[in-house]
Each structure stands twice: as C-alpha cells, then as structure tokens.
Copies of this chain bind each other. A is one copy, B any other.
Amino acid sequence: MPTPHYGQPRYRVIADELRQRIKGGVIPPGGLLPTESVLTAEFRASRGTIRQAIAVLRDEHLVVTEHGRGTYVNPHQHESRPGDGRETETRQRQVPADPEIAALFAVEAGTTLVEQQDVTRINGAVEAVVRAYRLRREKQ
C-alpha cells in the first residue's frame, strides 16, 4: 500500500519477500527473477527501491545480476553430495494463452503471454517442470 508505516524500510520488506521466494523454491537456482519493471508493478515501488532490495540479495550472494540480462538466483547456494546433481534449466518464451489461463488473466484466448519454464533435474532425471505465466508488459 502507498503508506505502510514502517518499522522497516520498504526495500528490506521487498528483499525479505524475494528471499522467501528463492529459499522456498518458487524461484529455483539458476532461475530468473522478475525484471525490475515487473517488480516495480508488483510491489508498487519505484525502481530505485526495487534495485535497493535486489542489492541486498546481491550482497548476500543469493543472486547475481547481469547487465541487459536480468538477475539470476545463484545456483551455487548449497552444494549437495557429489553425484546428487540437482540442476535447473530455465527458458523464457512467448506463448498464446490457453482458454483457461486467458480467463484467469481476463484476456482473450490466444493473447500472447510470457512463459518462463524451469526444468529441474535430479541426477539427470526430470523431477519437475514449472511454468510461470505472466502478461506481457506493455509500455509503462
């Protein structure tokens, strides 16, 4: 909300939320964080504040940021036993919305959505496939 009286600065609250998503696996190792613009919309905070929040996670070595690319969750967070390989492959693409998802977003079926797919493998075998859909960002 516009004016949450603080016991804590906004950027720390946002950082905490993002850290929870990472630790909770909502954003897997190697996965891409939402862009600064998306986070701006989601948290209704200015870009500077979002960047400050991400800087916190970067200081914790929880994420790494690449110019023009985005911010990734550091895959080398906890190395497990050798041989017990857990790896995640991320891909982002644009897809037409199926009727069900279109209804959720309140758009026409076929509307272009952004799909981020994370494939997690354990010892080579696919363990889970996660697909996150979002509206493609218009000018803002």
Give A122 to B82 CA distance when docked, in angstroms.
41
Chain A 94-138 interface residues, beta-carbon cutoff 8 Å to B: 101, 104-106, 119, 122, 125-134
The residues of B that contact A66 with a CB separation of less than 8 Å are 2-3
Q: Which of B3, B119, B132 contacts A67 (CB 8 A)?
A: B3
Q: Report how many copies the assembly holds.
A: 2
Q: DSSP majority for the A interface? A: strand
A42 at the interface (CB under 8 A from B): yes
- Chain A contact residues (Cβ within 8 angstroms of B): what range? 20 to 34
A130-B133 contact, Cβ under 8 Å, with A2-B64, A3-B66, A82-B1: yes
Contact (Cβ within 8 A) A131 B130: yes
